[in-house]
Structure 1
Amino acid sequence: MRLVSVAVSLLALYALSLTAWAQDRRPSPGHTRSLAVPRTEETLVINGRLDDEAWKNAPVADDFWMSEQQRWPAEKTEVLVIADGSRLYFGFRAYESEPDKISAIQARSDAGLRLDDQVGVELDPFHNHREISTYSVNAIGTQNDAIAGGRARNIQWKGDWKAAVAKTDYGWSAEIAIPFEILNYRDGDTTFGINLIRYQHRTDEWSRWADITPQRKPEEMGHLTGLVLPAGVKPSEWTFLPYTLLGRNTPDKRGTIHNFLGTGGIDIRYQPRQNQTGVLSINPDFSQLETQITDINFNYNEKFRLDPRPFFQEGSAYFGSDDKFFYSNRVSDFNYGGKFFTQLGQNRAGALVTEAPGNRWDMALRLEHDLNATNTAAFMVVSTDRQDLKNQLFVGSIRGRQPSGLNYSLDLAKTTTRGEDGDGEHVQGTLGWSGDHAYVGTKLDHYSLNFFPADGLIKRDSLGTRGVNNYAGYYRESGGGPFRALNAYGGWSGRQ
């Protein structure tokens, strides 16, 4: 049986005038922009007002640019940068000619700032164009971050940073202070990758200091230079999170209800260097975690759910992003587990092992090597050993993007199983081209009938099939006139 779907979408939302595209002047390429960070002995007070004396000696990052629309924003933004022995400081001046239209409603930290007026810092401490963390604050002072590599949400593990905002006669201002001790970097480095961003609600404009092109290329980020980074062991090398739980008529991990239950455990985080992290979790308590739900739409296949357990959130990116190979929700609540992840030069590695009730063991190991700034190769092993099942998955991957716009990926996977039929293979490849506005490509995949990654999430109706998806499209924003963008897409897919 062959299923064919054809989707063609053409939204005539294109500007009638090309004045937004005809720029007499534009900033230099993003990767050529840099800021030398001066050192201060003064500890700045984070109140959002930029009134500390040290700010007078800070360099200014200006000339923000709208990469997607290739034009200047309606209002200017300026950012001051300075450092002391323990923190990086960023001071934003967000100009707004109609201050009564500044809008920010999100008051909950780390819940997403959506379309609030906001400013942010994108940091790439390893300067490898891959592990980029974002620290943002909206116009009422609500903080939000997205930490590269994956971090648990509890502040004791993630680390704390500060931000504050203030209203001004030109719009609003913000100060952000990021401690070096919460960043991962290599000893001896003096340069970070950097971009500075702003979203203005009134004009619906995202602007950036370094032009990353409409393709949002991370290698086009700017640079912070002249940094003097703390070296050696971190002040907070060890982090301990013990707990004790007492209860009546309370279920244990196996679901058995006890008239009285008393238990305890501990989570330990060890970071001997900024680029090496270990986690040990002994009898962890997952009962207080918020249950993750999916949407109510019907689907024949199991739906993806986020894993709220801190053990699996920490360093999650070191285990890849393809859930069909490793889906941490498959690992049951365990008695104890260990994890280690690191960045060494052009190499990244992550390893974890857990032991659960019923003498169940789960293990994952992933190694990744940067061939260059835009191409990587990786190898992964995932294993589960249960009383009635022993299953292993082996995966080799390569993916990248060339300066010409050519992009590609290839995954080769094999499973071996003892306990049920589960010896099978999976192959998936993509080949395409992307320009600033146009793109075209094809995706091919094949699943053998007995491909069985026991700790992965796959669509069961894909087993024993092969598929193809061809697509092409064009997207361009104008940012002016009665029409905002031109979006065209065409595709053809089939599976048999």
Structure 2
Amino acid sequence: MMPITPAVVHAAPTQRQNFTLPTTKTPPKIDGDLSDACWKDALKAGEFARFGSSTPVSQKTEAWATTDGKTLYVAFYCYDTQPEQIRASETQRGSGAVYGDDHITVLIDSQHLHRGLSAFSINPIGTLYHTLEGGTADNITWAGDWKGVSKRVADGWVCELAIPFGLMRHPAKSKVFGMQLIRAMTRESNFTIWPAVPSDSQSLSLLAQTAPDFQLAQPMPDIAPKPVFLPYTFATAKPSGQSGRVGMDIKYPFSTTLTGLMAINPDFQTIEQNVASVNFSYNEQFVADRRPFFAEGSEFLPNPELFYSQRIQQFDTGVKVVGRDGATSVGLVASQARSTKTDRDNMAVSVKQALGLYSEVGVSATADNLYGIVANRVAEAHGTYGWMAKDRRNTAYLRRTQTWLGAQPKGNDSVLYLNSSSTNGKPSYTLIQSQLSSDFVSTMGLVQNLDRKGWSASSSLRNQFDKGPLFSYDFKLDYSQADRLTSGDFFYENLGSSVSLQTRKGNSLSLDASQGRRQDSVTKRFEDFSSGIGFGWNQRTLFQGGGLRVGRGRQGGLPTTDLNFGQSFLVSKPISVSTSYNQQKRGTTTTRQAIATGIYRIDTLRTLSARVLSQNGSGNAANVGARNGTNFYLAYTQRSRANGADIFVILGDPNANNTRTQATVKLVRPY
């Protein structure tokens, strides 16, 4: 097949395309067979165009869309003149590794605000993955179900998707939504898209703003508020005895766009949390929170400097309200602990008001009441002004934060952020000026480098290529400088750079270097420098990639060397293993961390997994995530559809420092 020349697009971002979605009385059977009569009368997509580069489209894609008034139906025919190169490895529903396969994605702006997108993806073997605007937990009944089936054919692969409008959090009586259809092939860097995006707007950050409008003959159906109850039963047996507990999660949609959550006596013991690395840092490392109660709707909550959810461990009762109502977005979370060692109440809230496509204003606040200790309050006001200048998206952001202990005002924080980003192959720039007082107190936040006034600047350049030996390159240059706010004395300065290259065969090379100096509060000055080189192999395979980085330098007054190694293995089609090894030597102290994880994918909803985590040596005091010991555990997970029970069986404890002899069973049955 000759390369397909994409249609030339002259439309500006403000000249939005419009399409009418036909209604069918006979919806398709979702089986991967495109012979259903409704597809003949469906809206047929035009030619798919390259996104992010001018390389001609190499493979033809056809797509159709229709609706029965309750559900959006989409079908793809992905032609391929090299079907042996189609990659489809991930079988586990809900795994983002689907994006490492050939796949299609339907992007939907269900609220028609051009500010956020939900994504529904499927690979050639029918594995589903979705992300909803604002986020949601991974229980299928809780999040909402949708269907998709793929089928391999002689000249490519085909798929059918059924996405209920009730899953899309649309406004009441809405008859229009935004949509983009995407096809990605692993052997090409840049995906293809329909409707085509103007060349001066081909940036991932602009897809929500450029998504065309799709009109419906009838409004999307109003979904009556219906609570979902997720009670759980938890039992643990260990040599010292048996224990059990019960709890419940409740989800109540106040509207199609605003959701309320409640957790009563929640349990997080079955959640395998992320682990901080052993690498040296002057500050505490950020570790993402995998607990569903905190992950859902997290983008609506205050920034981590105000609200770092890892600060909240076990609690008795928690409530949450997240979502958008028109141009207003709301995020509220509150928890209460009485059965723990310390009675504690926490609250975090954020309200933002959108102004046009690129600007907004907002306020955020947190409260931390540790009974017997003075309460901490934090309040923040911020504003963002954004604008387009040809192919550049420019953003100016201003933030001001004030803290209190009890009724006593304490420290404050202010930030001015300027950014200019562009399409592939063109540089992006960022300039930040900030100051943070020495008495700034945010007990629920992740605060770094108190008592500073300074600025930082960075520039980056990235590009991807769809043909030739080079797959992508990435270059970054950063500079930061700060003085002590109270005294005006020097605090720190750092200059860093990195460059990475990846070939079409999946091999990569990276180089990084930094030079800096830092002075602590007792006038001891550290001259820091480091350099590193990294190699990668099989980077463009899903389960067989690996990498090695070695570095050396001087940090915190001590000579430092570090070694990072990772390797994944596809033992057989359903069994994969990933390993990592991290070692750092500072002075005479060596710290090591080794992690190995194995997964047996029984089917799309059931897995057997095992992990061993070993860490020893002396952890950095600033690294709160440091641990010593070896922990091993086994787990069986079964996730259900159609209101079945989620089942967790764990031998050991996923987050203990050392292996524990215990067995745990957890049942979650949605109602």
Which residue does the alignment assign to 1:33?
A: 17
How do residues 110-129 of structure 1 correspond to structure 2 at under 5 angstroms?
A: 110-112=94-96, 113-129=98-114
Correspondences of 1:46-57 after superposition (within 5 Å) = 46-57=30-41
Q: Find the counterpart in structure 2 of residue 221 from structure 1.
A: 211
Secondary structure at 2:99 match in 1: coil
Q: Which has the higher contact order (CA 8 A, sep 6+)?
A: 1
Aligned to 1:254: none
- Trace 1:125-274 onto structure 2 (pairs within 5 A): 125-209=110-194, 210-211=196-197, 213-216=201-204, 217=206, 218-226=208-216, 228-234=218-224, 237-248=226-237, 259-274=241-256
Q: 1:326 to 1:304 in 2, by over 3 A?
A: same
Counterpart position of 2:441 = 452
Corresponding residue SS for 1:265: strand
1:175–1:28 Cα change, 3 Å: farther
Superposition RMSD in Å: 2.5
Q: Which moved more, 1:341-350 or 1:54-63?
A: 341-350
Moved over 6 A (4+): none
Counterpart mapping for 1:13-28 below 5 A: 25-28=7-10
The one of 380, 398, 410 equivalent to 1:410 is 398
Q: Secondary structure at the match of 2:388?
A: coil
Q: Do 1:233 and 1:272's aligned partners in 2 also have CA atoms closer than 8 Å?
A: no
Q: Percent identity?
A: 27
Contact in 2 for aligned 1:319/1:350 (Cα 8 Å): yes
Deviates more, 1:143-152 or 1:294-303: 294-303
Aligned length: 463
Q: How many angstroms apart in 2 are the aligned matches of 1:327 and 1:304? A: 9
Q: Which has the higher strand share?
A: 2
> Mapping of 1:302-451 within 5 angstroms?
302-320=284-302, 322-357=303-338, 358-387=342-371, 388-404=373-389, 405=392, 406-418=394-406, 423-436=410-423, 437-451=426-440
Q: Mean Cα displacement is larger for which, 402-411 or 135-144? A: 402-411
Output the CA distance in 1 between the equivalents of 2:161 and 2:317: 38
1:174 Cα deviation after fit: 1.0
Indicate conservation of the 8 Å contact 1:73/1:205, yes or no.
no
Q: Hey, what does 1:7 align to over in structure 2?
A: none
Letter paired with 1:177: A
- The alignment status of 1:68 with 2:52, answered yes or no, reads yes
Instruction: Report the counterpart of residue 658 of structure 2 in structure 1.
Output: none
Task: Work out the CA distance in 2 between the residues paired with 1:415 and 1:185.
Answer: 37
Tell me, in whole angstroms, the C-alpha distance in 2 between the residues paired with 1:204 and 1:96. 16
C-alpha separation between the residues in 2 aligned to 1:105 and 1:157?
27
CA distance in structure 2 between the partners assigned to 1:261 and 1:483 by the alignment: 57
SS where residue 402 of structure 1 aligns? strand
TM-score w.r.t. the length of structure 2 is: 0.65
Distance 1:337 1:474, change over 3 A: closer
* Greater displacement, 476-485 / 46-55: 476-485
Output the CA distance in 2 between the equivalents of 1:485 and 1:310: 34
Larger deviation, residues 480-489 vs 203-212: 480-489
Letter in 2 for 1:280: M
- Name the TM-score, length of structure 1 as normaliser: 0.87
1:481, distance to aligned residue in structure 2 (A) = 4.3
Q: Which amino acid aligns with 1:199?
A: A
AA matched with 1:95:
Y
Residue 385 of structure 1, CA deviation: 0.3
Report SS of the residue matched to 1:54: helix
CA distance 1:292–1:422, shift in 2 (3 Å): farther
The alignment status of 1:299 with 2:289, answered yes or no, reads no
Conserved 8 A contact 2:188-2:466: no
Q: Does structure 1 retain, via aligned residues, the 8 Å contact 2:108–2:118?
A: yes
The alignment partner of 1:432 has SS state of strand
Structure 2 portions without partners, runs of 5+: 484-671
1:409-459 CA deviation, whole Å, 9 max, x = no partner? Answer: 11111111249x982111111123334423333111111111121111122
Deviation at 1:483, TM superposition (A): 5.0
1:217-249 deviation digits (Å, cap 9, x = unpaired): 131122221253444343x71101112334455
Shift of 1:98: 0.8
For 1:328-365, what per-residue CA distance to the aligned partner results, in whole angstroms no more than 9, with x for missing partners? 11122111111122422211112221111333100111
**Superposition pairs for residues 272-291 of structure 1, below 5 Å?**
272-291=254-273
Task: Describe the shift of the 1:485–1:264 C-alpha distance in structure 2 as closer, same or farther (beyond 3 A).
Answer: closer
Q: Using the TM superposition, give the Cα deviation of residue 489 of structure 1 relative to its aligned residue in structure 2, in angstroms.
A: 4.8
Q: What SS class does the counterpart of residue 231 from structure 2 fall into?
A: strand
Between the aligned partners of 1:402 and 1:378, the Cα distance in structure 2 is: 18
SS in 1 for 2:293: helix
Change (3 A) 1:142 1:296: farther
Q: 1:492 aligns with which of 466, 479, 482?
A: 479
Query: Is the 1:35–1:61 contact (alpha carbons within 8 Å) kept by the matching residues of 2?
Result: no
64-73 vs 370-379, greater mean Cα deviation: 64-73
2:53–2:190 CA contact under 8 A, matched in 1: no
Partner residue in 1 for 2:458: 471
Cα gap change, 1:24/1:145 in structure 2, threshold over 3 Å: closer, same or farther? closer
Change (3 A) 1:25 1:78: closer
Give the Cα separation in 1 of the matches to 2:289 and 2:475. 35
Contact 2:174–2:219 under 8 Å retained in 1: yes
For 1:249 and 1:479, the matched residues in 2 are separated by: 55
